Chains A and B, each alone.
Chain A
Amino acid sequence: MFVDARNLPDGQSLDAEICILGAGAAGISMALALRDQGFRVIVIESGGFEQEESTQALYEGVIEGHAYNALDETRLRYFGGSTNHWAGHCRPLDTIDFKARPWMPNSGWPFQLPELVPYYRKAEALCELEPFPYPNGVWDGEPGQRPFPFDPNTVITSRYGNSRPTRFGSRYRADMADAANVACYLHLNVIELETDHAGRSVTGVRLATLEGKSFHASAKVFVLALGGIENARLLLLSNTVQRAGLGNQNDLVGRYFMDHVIARSGKLLPFGPPRRLPLDLYNVGRPKHGVLVLTEDAMRAHELPNATVFVRRVAVPTAEAVRSLKTILRMFSDREWPDDLDEHVANVVWDIDDVVRATYWRLTGQPRPLKNIGLDTRLETLPDPENRIVLTDRKDRLGQNQVQLRWSLDSIKLADIRKLHQIIGLEAGKTGFGRIQIELDAEAPVWPERRLYGNHHIGTTRMHAEPRQGVVDAQCRVHGLSNLFIAGSSVFPTSGASNPTLTIVALALRLAEHIKSVIG
């Protein structure tokens, strides 16, 4: 059932066995997994069923360091959370993402991929996806498609899946309403987690509406499912007993913030007529599409983080081609050569290769159109403790400290993107498939203008078996607290190179099962 907290009498107490804070992908997934059980579940959601300016403003914060999207624009604060604006791109983490990698400090999860596979399968259903193979390795495409013919020991085509996208709020609203043991309180904000005197267990939660009403919730078990930034924020704000914030005895809460960046990184000049190129397999608009990834062996051999390379068809627009021709002609008269080497590379390498000499372009006698394929790379972000969420002195409307994101792009190594493209370029040349242009300068690479953040807020309450290296343990329980758990991407120790939503839901379902066993 749904309850609008604004209509409740001021001061009412809420009581349940399980209290879930947040109703985004993680919170809703947990609530659905816990429905129709013999215990009560309350879900606390700051917003209502639609976006509201006053609630959204509670997400405001500041950025220090490299430019980043405004914090009140990268996430949504109403029922369904950020699934209300996600693009639906899904891919499970790879086997190597869970492993400790000697060349990547702070890597390694406390469990491996097989532990999560049963929950990935259930998560696929919630995200309305076709099943993935596990591990998600080589994909040959749909019948009639062919991947790029690279050495499968080095570069493979792996699968991505697109959800509708599933808007968890609208899609599962009826299910939540019908769940007899689940009560979802809307327009209710979390102010602080309360603990016993020793700070060893959470005894309750202080709650409030924007209109000034106060409430208190008590439960046996509490779950933070507020998102990658707010999970950390709430722990830091809950500092009445533990002055540094709950679970922050080792100064880890808020640290290791990660996000993904997709940047235009290169071009692939393929050989052969366009109609024979397997580009449709890589079309990101399809329900299933391919991306280029290195094998685990190749990542180890070259000490590279994980990456997914997206393939986009690019053609020189007619107007641009005309402008180019005019530029070339003008330069001819000035006895200068054009700066852009693209066309000359195409002419030279195509001339020397028998495969292309038989193409219909020669047969038609028409000028060869330049058909490049754009490559966009999402490189795994390195876990850097200096990328972090901290509290500022500025207060929001509820009187809570706003956050500052300290963010540096240095945790994503441009040199690694170059190396990745060199590997792909060697494969393309070795197989006769084509040539690669790396669009990052060798001497002084700078971030391309064309880059996109994923708005994937990862790592701020990372998982590790050791309290000195993580905020939560392998069961996502906050170290040092008996009954506080965290759901969402804030628990990821590493980011991988896949969109996180599918993994968020899988982890939430795993946590729900664990909590069932705890509650008994």
Chain B
Amino acid sequence: MFVSRRRFLFCFIAASVGFGGSSTTNNPVTSARKLFSNDRSVRAIRERYVRLYPAEADPEILLAGLERSNVALATTLRSSDQRRLRSRAQVQIRRDFATNDVVTLDGWLLSRTEVRLATLAAMA
């Protein structure tokens, strides 16, 4: 049976960290959540984003999108290394603007990565 790399990565993460409500630091949602200090704000971002891109309400698809942009970033999401995660996120955010990989939410021009990370965080 062929298992896509994406699906494998997601299952690996889920199995390793008990995805779906686990509070361990290897949970990508939890890792993403630790990047942000404000619940309401990440939920507001998520609400706007999934209105435009409904498919990315699915965390699997969301993670796959992050991985397509930056494999190292996606991998770091399942680690407990918040410093490295933040650093890689910032690099990718700058790259998003350099390559015009941006989304517009209520007129705000934002990096797709920062919006995806906030959306992921809002699933916590």
Nearest CB of A to B79, in Å = 17
A426 touches B102 (CB 8 A): yes
A435 touches B86 (CB 8 A): no
CB under 8 Å from chain A, chain B span 28-46:
35-38, 40-45
Q: How far is the CA of A351 from the CA of B38 in the complex (A)?
A: 9
B108 within 8 A of A: yes
A164 within 8 A of B: no
B100 within 8 A of A: yes
A50 within 8 A of B: no
A341 touches B48 (CB 8 A): yes
A352 touches B36 (CB 8 A): yes
Can you name the residue of chain A whose Cβ is closest to the Cβ of B85? A352
- A: contact size bracket: 20 to 34
B106 touches A341 (CB 8 A): yes
Nearest CB of A to B54, in Å = 18
B48 contacts which chain A residues (CB < 8 A)?
341
B37 contacts which chain A residues (CB < 8 A)?
347, 351
A437 contacts which chain B residues (CB < 8 A)?
106-109
Residue in contact with A439 in the complex, picked from B93, B94, B100, B107, CB distance below 8 Å: B107
B104 touches A341 (CB 8 A): no
- Assuming the contacts A351-B35, A429-B102, A438-B104, asked whether A337 and B40 have C-beta atoms less than 8 A apart, the reply is yes
B93 touches A354 (CB 8 A): no
- Assuming the contacts A341-B108, A354-B86, A438-B104, asked whether A429 and B97 have C-beta atoms less than 8 A apart, the reply is yes
Q: How far is the CA of A98 from the CA of B66 in the complex (A)?
A: 47
B97 touches A349 (CB 8 A): no
A440 contacts which chain B residues (CB < 8 A)?
107
A341 contacts which chain B residues (CB < 8 A)?
44-45, 48, 105-106, 108
A300 contacts which chain B residues (CB < 8 A)?
none
A430 within 8 A of B: yes
A422 within 8 A of B: yes
Q: How far is the CA of A212 from the CA of B119 in the complex (A)?
A: 77
Can you name the residue of chain A whose Cβ is closest to the Cβ of B42? A348
Q: How far is the CA of A426 from the CA of B94 in the complex (A)?
A: 9
Nearest CB of A to B96, in Å = 7
- 29 A-B pairs in the complex with CB atoms less than 8 angstroms apart: A266-B107, A337-B40, A337-B43, A341-B45, A341-B48, A342-B108, A343-B41, A344-B38, A344-B41, A344-B44, A344-B45, A345-B41, A347-B36, A348-B36, A348-B42, A351-B35, A351-B36, A351-B38, A352-B35, A352-B93, A421-B109, A429-B97, A429-B102, A432-B94, A435-B108, A435-B110, A437-B108, A437-B109, A438-B109
Residues in chain A within 8 A of chain B (CB atoms): 266, 337-338, 341-345, 347-349, 351-354, 421-422, 425-430, 432, 435-442
Residues in chain B within 8 A of chain A (CB atoms): 35-38, 40-45, 47-48, 86-87, 89-90, 93-94, 96-98, 100, 102, 104-111, 114, 117-118
